[in-house]
Structure 1
Amino acid sequence: MVLRTISEGLSDAISDYISSNPASKSNHENASQYLPGGNTRSVLYTSPFPITFVFANGITLSSADGCTYLDFLGEYTAGLFGHSNEQIKNAIQDAVESGWGFGGVGVWEGQLARRVCERFGIERCRFTNSGTEANLMAIAVAKVVTHKKKILVFGGAYHGSVLAFPSTELQSPLNVPHEFIVGPYNDIKYIQSLQKDLTITNDLAAILVEQMQGAGGCHAASPEFLQSLRELADNTKSILIFDEVMTSRLHPGGLQSYHGVKPDMTTLGKYLAGGSSFGCFGGKEEIMKAFDEGRSDGGLVLSHPGTFNNNVISMRAGCVALEILTDDVLVEMNTLGEGMRKELNELCINYGVQERMWVTGVGSLMALHFGERKEGDDFREYVEVKDKDAEDLFWFWMIENGVYLARRGFVALTIEHRKEHVERFLEVAEGFLKTWAHVFR
């Protein structure tokens, strides 16, 4: 029988999912007795329950129910090296065998700092445990050194679990209590209007922006927008912070290198420790010297403790990870992603659903959108375009056919992906369109 509506298809897909994953269901129920929602990382929750994984290798994931999936989520960009890179595995083993938790300085943090600074054109940096911490520290030091309070961010941005701005009208209730100004993303006219508002410009400490909004739907900023932020920062003597936690993998030197717009500070994280916990903030020496406890010029000294800032495993794995990730390797992965996104959009056009389903992104990162597309308006806030039922149905379809991605349609390739893996994704996606395109039109 041909299903007539997306809601009918979604209902059946959920029933099939439940019956096919009894072990995952049981694990979720058991975990829920101790963990609210059955998890300790909200982005991994999916209704009616998430898949429980027990093993990973290369680009495959194996579930508690004996299913194997091609991994197109890539640990939300942190799994850039796949699940079993031999060189990173050896580096972690070396770190374990040499002991960990020194409570003192090790040899590897200085070496990793050199590699990070040279790759991204950063003068000085400090390490943290996550991108969230890196952004928190960057904002904090910006306020201290500028003696100002306001922070300009943008609707659709995600800078960490306590720095989330789903839209210009909506902030996470868990956000830290800074004086945020939430502007529309990629809107040059808005930035120009701010120049005239002295109540803002006179007290603007920092501008924090992603050059492509990852969690916000993989929408990329225009070079003109980024340049307007550089000019605003210069005119207001505020600090321009590029959040490259996700985007640093999209071009050698990060997207700031691609666009040729230089920030005052950069935040990093995700993949840079080979999959281990990691974050980094850094920038101009005149800013970062505030963390130099040994300075003798009588200037400002800030304390930045953190038990695991220099944890041996992350430091050692990070050094090896940056050796593996040559410019050629990075370019090859992003070129594969560009082709994949192009072919997905061509499928949508071929099936006549391009106004209801489309793909945005840069390089190896992309997001599938389901909703009402407006011509020339790809930069609306992500929350405005969603057709949740269609988005969910697509996810269940991909899962049923052995392809794992984020429920929200987010895809991140790894250096382990090859053309044949992308072709399998496209094959399964086309199967979805063959079945459901008539409903989208």
Structure 2
Amino acid sequence: MSVTSKSGLAESLQAAIEGYRNRNPKSAAMLDRARAVMPGGNTRTSLWSDPFPLCIESAEGCRIRDVDGHEYIDFLGEFTAGIFGHTSPVLAEAVAQAHADGFGLSSHTPYEVAFAERIVERFPSMDRLRFANSGTEANMMAVMAAKLTTGRGKIAVFDGAYHGGFLSFGHGSSPVNAPFDYLLLPFNDAAAASTAFAAEGSEIAAVLVEPMQGAGGCRVADRAFLEVLRNLTQTHGAILIFDEVQTARMSYGGAQSIFGVIPDMTTIGKFFGGGMAFGAFGGRADIMDRFDPARPGALPHAGTFNNNRLTMAAGLAAIDTYLTADKLTALYQTGEDLQAAIKDIFKRTGAPFKITGMGSIMNIHAEGTTPEEALTRQKLLRFRLLEDGYFIADRGLIAVSQAIEEKHIEGFLQSLEKVAATCP
């Protein structure tokens, strides 16, 4: 790209930012107000974007509305958690009934049994499970279970991975990561994994891997790579953990059923809670039964809200109504078709972008001669999609919800084709 066109790209971004500021004064004011009580006005880092994030006040179906009165078709789907859209009479009724019958009951409840039965039935890797409050908690407990089961210390993870706020490896190891002994390996590199196990296999407690790295740019694992990890962990006595917090939506039995690679443990979260905070970890009976409190020396796992009635009720309703095999298969195909259409747009127009992903989760990546140029183009794309009323993540993440209809996809593709051509 020439110096002139680079300058033009930067000027286009600045103009888009200025337009964004002018259209959204109330969102800016809300952030200023929030800064007095939260650092940077933020309590969830992934939501931050320059110059300020939109403040969303209401939603219905796949439409969200900000405090300045603008409406957007939501193609982000709460960073993959909002698979149902933003409103559901079924889930609202389930939560209301659970609330009406009493919550915080200080003991076990029937809801959790039925909910656990439904989940265990669908995942080949789960003999037993335990509930938690987030995917982060689920991954932390799975890692601890692996360490204590094997008596080893090292945890093999992959560059670009995100397993929650305390297990993040987007740019190396995050400074707030849990203080485990990590072995950071390149993703999708079977040879590197084999070399690591040859050198340190007797010290590796677990391999923690996403079948598709969501926060890492929707990089899909190669089946052969996952098969090598399965063989290596079995040969060396380590535990293979699949983080399916995002990819569980790919089929009734998650991505593991699609790949045909069955781990020792699986973690889930997000949408399984029916819109409520949720996480779960499960796996082989010999691992999970170590948490049986009736057994001598049982591993502890506490959490006031692990089995809270509101989440258990919402999750049970979500599984029975929305997370059925046919509906997940249909959503997967919708996502695959959308990715193919986006790829075709970039190919036909020669726009400097690419798309990666699996099923209904994908990521648009801007290209450039320098990282700065690519980042500028990425931001410009999002601002211009917002101008047209389409909401995606700052980093290009798209997560299609079940509330998205064909007309919304058609409108998005028309906007994307127009917008991509104006991001030089």
Q: 2:335 aligns with which of 331, 334, 337?
A: 337
Deviation at 1:143, TM superposition (A): 0.5
The answer to whether the Cα contact below 8 Å between 1:3 and 1:9 also exists between their aligned partners in 2 is: no
Q: 1:309 aligns with which of 306, 310, 318?
A: 306
Q: 2:389 aligns with which of 397, 402, 422?
A: 402
Matches within 5 A, 1:253-268: 253-268=253-268
What is the alpha-carbon distance in structure 2 between the residues aligned to residue 3 and residue 361 of structure 1? 29
What is the alpha-carbon distance in structure 2 between the residues aligned to residue 144 and residue 3 of structure 1? 54
Residue aligning to 2:15? 12
Q: Is 1:113 equivalent to 2:120 in the alignment?
A: no
What is the alpha-carbon distance in structure 1 between the residues aligned to residue 55 and residue 79 of structure 2? 17
Q: 2:36 aligns with which of 25, 33, 36?
A: 33
The SS at the match of 1:390 is helix
The SS at the match of 1:393 is helix
Residue aligning to 1:181? 183
What is the alpha-carbon distance in structure 2 between the residues aligned to residue 329 and residue 123 of structure 1? 24
What is the CA RMSD across the aligned residues, in angstroms?
1.6
What is the alpha-carbon distance in structure 2 between the residues aligned to residue 232 and residue 33 of structure 1? 51
Residue aligning to 1:228? 228
Aligned partner of 1:220: which letter?
Answer: V
Aligned partner of 1:309: which letter?
Answer: N
Q: Is 1:148 equivalent to 2:144 in the alignment?
A: no
The SS at the match of 2:29 is helix
Residue identity (%): 40
The alignment's TM-score, normalised by the length of structure 1, stands at 0.92
What is the alpha-carbon distance in structure 1 between the residues aligned to residue 248 and residue 289 of structure 2? 24
Aligned partner of 2:274: which letter?
Answer: G
Aligned partner of 1:172: which letter?
Answer: S
Distance of aligned partners of 1:314 and 1:216 in 2 relative to their CA distance in 1, 3 Å threshold? same
The SS at the match of 2:345 is helix
What is the alpha-carbon distance in structure 2 between the residues aligned to residue 272 and residue 156 of structure 1? 24
The answer to whether the Cα contact below 8 Å between 2:6 and 2:373 also exists between their aligned partners in 1 is: no
Deviation at 1:4, TM superposition (A): 6.3
The answer to whether the Cα contact below 8 Å between 1:227 and 1:261 also exists between their aligned partners in 2 is: yes
Distance of aligned partners of 1:201 and 1:4 in 2 relative to their CA distance in 1, 3 Å threshold? closer
Residue aligning to 1:101? 104
What is the alpha-carbon distance in structure 2 between the residues aligned to residue 386 and residue 74 of structure 1? 27
Aligned partner of 2:151: which letter?
Answer: H
> Size of the alignment, in residue pairs?
418
- Structure 1 window deviating more from structure 2 (206-215 vs 78-87): it is 78-87
The SS at the match of 2:298 is coil
Deviation at 1:46, TM superposition (A): 1.1
Aligned partner of 1:38: which letter?
Answer: G
Aligned partner of 1:331: which letter?
Answer: T
Residue aligning to 1:419? 406
The answer to whether the Cα contact below 8 Å between 2:381 and 2:420 also exists between their aligned partners in 1 is: no
Deviation at 1:174, TM superposition (A): 0.4
Deviation at 1:371, TM superposition (A): 2.1
Residue aligning to 1:244? 244
The answer to whether the Cα contact below 8 Å between 2:339 and 2:362 also exists between their aligned partners in 1 is: yes
The SS at the match of 1:245 is coil
Residue aligning to 1:53? 56
Aligned partner of 1:367: which letter?
Answer: N
What is the alpha-carbon distance in structure 1 between the residues aligned to residue 18 and residue 70 of structure 2? 17
Aligned partner of 2:242: which letter?
Answer: F
Residue aligning to 1:378? none
Deviation at 1:192, TM superposition (A): 2.0
Q: 2:362 aligns with which of 362, 366, 372?
A: 366
What is the alpha-carbon distance in structure 1 between the residues aligned to residue 371 and residue 10 of structure 2? 20
Q: Gaps (5+ residues) in structure 1?
A: 374-382
Q: Gaps (5+ residues) in structure 2?
A: none
What is the alpha-carbon distance in structure 1 between the residues aligned to residue 250 and residue 40 of structure 2? 33
Query: Hey, which bits of structure 1, 4+ residues long, moved more than 3 A?
Result: 383-386
The answer to whether the Cα contact below 8 Å between 2:353 and 2:364 also exists between their aligned partners in 1 is: yes
The alignment's TM-score, normalised by the length of structure 2, stands at 0.96
Q: Is 1:194 equivalent to 2:196 in the alignment?
A: yes
